[in-house]
Structure 1
Amino acid sequence: MLAHFRWNPRNRYSIAALGAVLDFDLAKRPEDGIMLYSFASPQARSIFREVKAARTDSVFIAGGPHPSGCPEETLEYFDYVVVGEGEEALPELVRVLENGDDASRVRGIAYKKDGKVVFTPKRENVDLDKYPPFKPPLFGPIEITRGCPWNCAYCQTPRLFGHKMRHRSVEAICKYDKFYEDKRLVSPNAFAYGSDGITPNEAAVERLLKSLSGNIYFGTFPSEVRPEFVAPKMLELLNMYCANKELHLGGQSGSDRMLKAIHRGHSAAQVLDAVELTHDAGLTPVVDFIFGLPGEREEDQQLTVDSINAIIEEGGKVRAHYFLPLPGTELAKTKPEKISPEIDKLLGKLALGGRLTGSWSDIKVLKKNK
């Protein structure tokens, strides 16, 4: 059977990474054979509709954040779910299906048998050095780290990839240096490279950055940096070796009460300290905040608005997000808190003035609450 990967711009990083371990072509609609999908929660409904309406002779396999977090729901539409990392499980599952063998021997998947969901034994986390970040002509950023030791209640990263940070070695990263003039290095916390994710390892970061050539983008979207990891030495390394003039920081809330509730592990003051250090180093801080966290009160929202105003006054930028409960997280089954009319008005003024940006759910949902 031919394997086809459903193309979508939002899953291009997954396609590039899995293209290094499996041969497939790209499809813009379901086709006969093995159909592969990777998607996050915002895309789930449209993908489920597409698969349900398909009139093809296909075996449908799903992976990625949403299927891994909601395998039971996904198996209402798909034949198999790869739970967690796909570098080992997906190629093995495809080979088994092509040979007509028993899929139950493949670890790290879920499927239905006699109407019940079956989970095969979990796999060990992959060694990043064994698997390329991409295979030309499919290109993606260079993923340098997986996993996170923190346990933020809204975040899927530790649930998908574990609480122990795994780093691609400098030697392995440098193998892909030649493919780009502009290098984008992806990590859940760029300044944690080479460390346990709790205590920074400045020497490891310097060794990585000085080993690369061209234009290096480090600590920028789709990566970010935890605010307590921002220190003068790290910023000095950024200015010395990197091309980016912005640094993306995960702030999440201006309320210490909410930061504690979501197990964030840093204070609101540390966010503003990181902003000031970043600005003083000649870089533009770009800070993410989440509104509508479960249990958030109007006074918490006001504290976040106060932080936003302070960051803007410091010359920074802010990205506002409206809380979306993600499957597999502590807050998976909760509902977003509404934005108070007064706070919504303040955010609307900032957005209209071009001082606040966000994703589709951010401004759209904020406007719905008016």
Structure 2
Amino acid sequence: MNVHFRYSKKNSYSFAVLSPLLPEAGFVDRPVDGIMIYSFTTRQAAKVFMEVKNAGTDSIFIAGGPHPSGAPEETLEYFDYVVIGEGEETLPELVKTIQGREDPQKVPGIAYRDAETGKVGRTPKRPYANLDSYPCFDPHKLRAPIEISRGCPWGCKYCQTPRLFGREVRHRSVDSIVKNAGYYNDLRFIASNAFGYGSDGIHPRFDKVEKLLSALYKIPDKKIFFGTFPSEVRPEFVTNESVELVRKYCANDSLSLGAQSGSDRILKEIHRGHTVGDSISAVECCLEHEIIPTVDFIFGLPTETEEDQEKSLDLVRWICKKGGTVRAHYLTPLPGTPYASAVPSEVSDLVRRELGKLAFGGKLTGYWEKHRKFDKK
């Protein structure tokens, strides 16, 4: 039975990691006969479910990624199997089991619907993967930024990361990262907190960050982009020491920071683990070192009041006035998180108007209420 990844640009990072583990699998842009593998987020779920429902193919459908892992019961209304969380070990074993006509219910780390009872079952959870045991990508097939860390200790209520990958942070070794870096001229990385490399995610180990950056810096003709898209850094990890490492070794002149709110009450409520003061200090530290802070905010958090929103607006204005930029996001309740069933709060007229003005001025991009987007070209 042939194996196919249902490719789209939005799942390319996931499939870059998984495709070396299923070297016989190809990439397709629509359902075909055989074993079909999907990975998708909540925003893509409805479209994917409709595609599978109307496929009309002789296929076994396997789903993985953030939405299926958080909502396996819903996903199994359309799919045959769901890979829960990490797929490096589970997916190849599941595919081999299906091809061998063996019992998939013996594969750890999956969800399935029992053919007799119709009930959803889950097999035992699989241990988290050692990143060094698996390649970042197949350079001859599909590439992605180099994943240097996985997991997060903080447990923010809106975030799937610790639920998918655990609260113990795992790191790829410097040797492994350097090996993968040979395939790129511009080096970019995946990490929930790039400055947390080598640490427990709570207490910085900038000595280990420097060990990584200095090793990469020695490779000829490479540009290092660290702490910027597609990764970010936590505000309390932005210090003179960490920013100087960027200035010394890296090509980026900006850092992506997750402030999320200008209200200390909200930050405490969502278990963010830092304060507004930490965000202010991070912005000031960046600017002192001639680094542009690009700061993320979430609007529409469930317990957010107009007063909380206006505090966020005040911080957004201050950042823009100082010379930073802001990316606004409207809360999307994600399955598997404490906010999965939450109703996002409405953004007040005042805050909506003022964010719109900043957007038209080129200082703010993104979403700040449902279905409204601005990205000044």
TM-score norm. by structure 1 comes to 0.97
Give matches, 1:81-160, under 5 Å: 81-113=82-114, 114=116, 115-137=118-140, 138-160=142-164
Question: Are residue 290 (structure 1) and residue 290 (structure 2) matched?
Answer: no
Query: How many angstroms does 1:151 deviate by?
Result: 1.2
Query: How many angstroms does 1:12 deviate by?
Result: 0.5
Mapped contact 1:145–1:188 kept (Cα < 8 A): yes
Which of residues 210, 213, 230 in structure 2 aligns to 1:209? Answer: 213
Tell me the distance in 1 between the aligned counterparts of 2:283 and 2:352.
Answer: 24
**Which residue number in structure 2 is paired with residue 8 of structure 1?**
8
Cα deviations by residue, 1:44-81 (Å, 9 ceiling, x for unpaired): 00000000001000000000000000000000000000
Tell me the distance in 2 between the aligned counterparts of 1:305 and 1:45.
Answer: 32
Which SS does the other structure have where 2:273 is aligned?
coil
**Which residue number in structure 2 is paired with residue 195 of structure 1?**
199
Tell me the distance in 2 between the aligned counterparts of 1:63 and 1:129.
Answer: 21
Q: Residues 334 and 308 of structure 1: is their aligned pair in 2 closer, same or farther, counting only changes over 3 Å? A: same
**Which residue number in structure 1 is paired with residue 248 of structure 2?**
240
Tell me the distance in 2 between the aligned counterparts of 1:178 and 1:165.
Answer: 25
Tell me the distance in 1 between the aligned counterparts of 2:165 and 2:119.
Answer: 26
Which of residues 310, 319, 322 in structure 2 aligns to 1:314? Answer: 322
Number of residues paired by the alignment? 366
Tell me the distance in 2 between the aligned counterparts of 1:112 and 1:280.
Answer: 56
Which SS does the other structure have where 2:82 is aligned?
strand
One-letter code of the match for 1:206? E
One-letter code of the match for 2:6? R
Which of residues 295, 317, 336 in structure 1 aligns to 2:344? Answer: 336
Same amino acid, percent of matched pairs: 56
Tell me the distance in 2 between the aligned counterparts of 1:311 and 1:146.
Answer: 29
**Which residue number in structure 2 is paired with residue 39 of structure 1?**
40
Mapped contact 1:320–1:357 kept (Cα < 8 A): yes
Query: How many angstroms does 1:21 deviate by?
Result: 1.0
Query: How many angstroms does 1:362 deviate by?
Result: 5.0
One-letter code of the match for 2:128? N
Which SS does the other structure have where 1:243 is aligned?
coil
Tell me the distance in 1 between the aligned counterparts of 2:322 and 2:351.
Answer: 21
Question: Are residue 356 (structure 1) and residue 364 (structure 2) matched?
Answer: yes
Tell me the distance in 2 between the aligned counterparts of 1:209 and 1:343.
Answer: 40
Tell me the distance in 1 between the aligned counterparts of 2:35 and 2:70.
Answer: 22
**Which residue number in structure 1 is paired with residue 309 of structure 2?**
301
- Unpaired segments ≥5 residues, structure 2: none
Which SS does the other structure have where 1:19 is aligned?
helix
Give matches, 1:51-66, under 5 Å: 51-66=52-67
Tell me the distance in 1 between the aligned counterparts of 2:260 and 2:9.
Answer: 26
Tell me the distance in 2 between the aligned counterparts of 1:312 and 1:352.
Answer: 13
Cα deviations by residue, 1:102-143 (Å, 9 ceiling, x for unpaired): 101110001011201010000000000000110122111100
Mapped contact 2:6–2:31 kept (Cα < 8 A): yes
Question: Are residue 250 (structure 1) and residue 253 (structure 2) matched?
Answer: no
Tell me the distance in 1 between the aligned counterparts of 2:286 and 2:309.
Answer: 24
Give the aligned CA root-mean-square deviation in angstroms: 1.1
Mapped contact 1:322–1:366 kept (Cα < 8 A): no
Instruction: Point out 4+ residue stretches in structure 1 off by more than 2 angstroms.
Output: 361-367
Query: How many angstroms does 1:169 deviate by?
Result: 0.5
Query: How many angstroms does 1:364 deviate by?
Result: 3.1
Tell me the distance in 2 between the aligned counterparts of 1:366 and 1:196.
Answer: 36
- Unpaired segments ≥5 residues, structure 1: none
Which SS does the other structure have where 1:133 is aligned?
coil
One-letter code of the match for 1:251? A
**Which residue number in structure 2 is paired with residue 231 of structure 1?**
239
TM-score norm. by structure 2 comes to 0.95
